[in-house]
């Protein structure tokens, strides 16, 4: 049987599709997995004052913040991705996002002008990670982090781990259809088939024990000093990413896929010579960087018969 469960977290809807025999057990495992996602929201949401991330943003300039293993591991992934993406992915972009109006009315603190906000951006100069203490510190006041899509992926990764620990062999998890994790495959299939792109030219990927993330400059928009902008801001130029391309990335972990799909929309030139092997580079029926002519809203489709 197939059981679907969902929760709202991090400004989107997370859904699990579980395959198994015992409905009570399936629901319980699904709830435990969703609880992991809710935990990540309560820890890493920028829009909750009581989150760990808000705590970090408030105090990390004054003292190092000790982190648990999972959260520190996420920051190590971020650290690596910032370097490998040459700063195209960089969560210290938060002050810039705020000045561009992309954080809505998140607090009563005065808005910085764009140049001042941009001066606070830059992972290497702003963040100190201490692996011995498992702590994170900001080098100056005013720095803040926006974990955007990577928090979603992190939640899905922890949820998938929880499902695996409970012996679930086949499941599909997604957050707002832009981050997807596949466990195993539906019975009798090679993998979960995921349709990307519009009605006219959908491309399909088979996903099995892997994560897929799609980024596109659609979705959240705001009007600010640069006029109307979308949410994928290049931390290096302080401008929204150009072009209408979208990027889809497959990786072992959803957090990694999320970070890279963001980086590749912001800087498509990174694609050739990328250092990790799971990136799809045009093999099969689809590529990591969909043609600009395809509709910009990513969507995916569950297999009709499972």
CB within 8 Å of 115: residues ≥ 6 apart: none
Interface with other proteins includes 32 (CB under 8 A)? yes
Interface with other proteins includes 165 (CB under 8 A)? yes
Interface with other proteins includes 31 (CB under 8 A)? yes
CA–CA separation, 80 and 86 (whole Å): 10
User: Can you tell me which of 1, 21, 109, 305 binds other proteins, judged by CB under 8 A?
Assistant: 109
Site residues for other proteins, 88-107, by CB under 8 A, read: 105, 107
Say if residues 33 and 81 touch (Cβ distance below 8 Å).
no
User: Can you tell me which of 4, 11, 13, 66 binds other proteins, judged by CB under 8 A?
Assistant: 66
Q: Which stretch binds other proteins (CB under 8 A): 63-71, 136-144, 211-219, 249-257?
A: 63-71
Interface with other proteins includes 19 (CB under 8 A)? no
CA nearest neighbour of 296 among 221, 243, 238, 231: 243
| Backbone φ, ψ for residue 218 (5° rounding) | -100, -170
Interface with other proteins includes 13 (CB under 8 A)? no
Interface with other proteins includes 55 (CB under 8 A)? yes
CB of 108 or CB of 275, closer to other proteins: 108
Interface with other proteins includes 76 (CB under 8 A)? no
Strands 246-251 and 135-138: unpaired
Burial (0-12, 13-18, 19+ Cβ within 10 Å), 170: buried
**Bridge partners, 193 (sequence order):** 206
Note the residues at the interface with other proteins (CB under 8 A).
23-25, 27-29, 31-32, 35, 42-43, 48-50, 52, 54-55, 58-59, 62-63, 65-70, 105, 107-110, 134, 165-167
């Amino acid at each position: 049987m197939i059981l679907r469960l969902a929760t709202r977290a991090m400004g989107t809807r997370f859904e699990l599709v579980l395959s198994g025999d015992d409905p009570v057990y399936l629901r319980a495992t699904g709830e435990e997995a969703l609880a992991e996602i809710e935990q990540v929201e309560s820890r890493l949401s920028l829009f909750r004052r009581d989150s760990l991330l808000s705590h970090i943003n408030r105090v990390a300039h004054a003292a190092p913040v000790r982190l648990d293993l999972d959260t520190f591991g996420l920051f190590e992934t971020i650290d690596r991705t910032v370097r490998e993406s040459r700063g195209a992915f960089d969560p210290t972009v938060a002050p810039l996002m705020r000045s561009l109006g992309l954080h809505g009315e998140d607090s009563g603190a005065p808005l910085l002008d764009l140049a001042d906000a941009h001066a606070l951006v830059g992972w290497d100069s702003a963040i100190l990670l201490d692996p011995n203490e498992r702590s994170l510190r900001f080098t100056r006041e005013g720095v803040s982090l926006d974990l955007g899509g990577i928090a979603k992926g992190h939640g899905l990764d922890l949820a998938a781990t929880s499902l695996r620990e409970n012996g679930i062999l086949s499941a599909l998890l997604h957050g707002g259809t832009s981050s997807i994790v596949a466990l195993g495959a539906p019975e009798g299939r090679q993998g979960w088939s995921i349709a990307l792109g519009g009605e006219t030219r959908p491309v399909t990927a088979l996903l099995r024990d892997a994560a897929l993330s799609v980024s596109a400059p659609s979705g959240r928009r705001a009007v600010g000093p640069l006029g109307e902008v979308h949410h994928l801001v290049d931390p290096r130029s302080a401008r929204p990413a150009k072009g209408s391309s979208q990027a889809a990335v497959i990786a072992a972990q959803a957090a990694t896929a999320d970070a890279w799909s963001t980086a590749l929309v912001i800087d498509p030139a990174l694609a050739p010579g990328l250092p990790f092997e799971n990136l799809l580079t045009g093999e099969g029926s689809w590529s990591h960087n969909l043609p600009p002519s395809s509709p910009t809203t990513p969507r995916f489709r569950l297999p009709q018969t499972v």
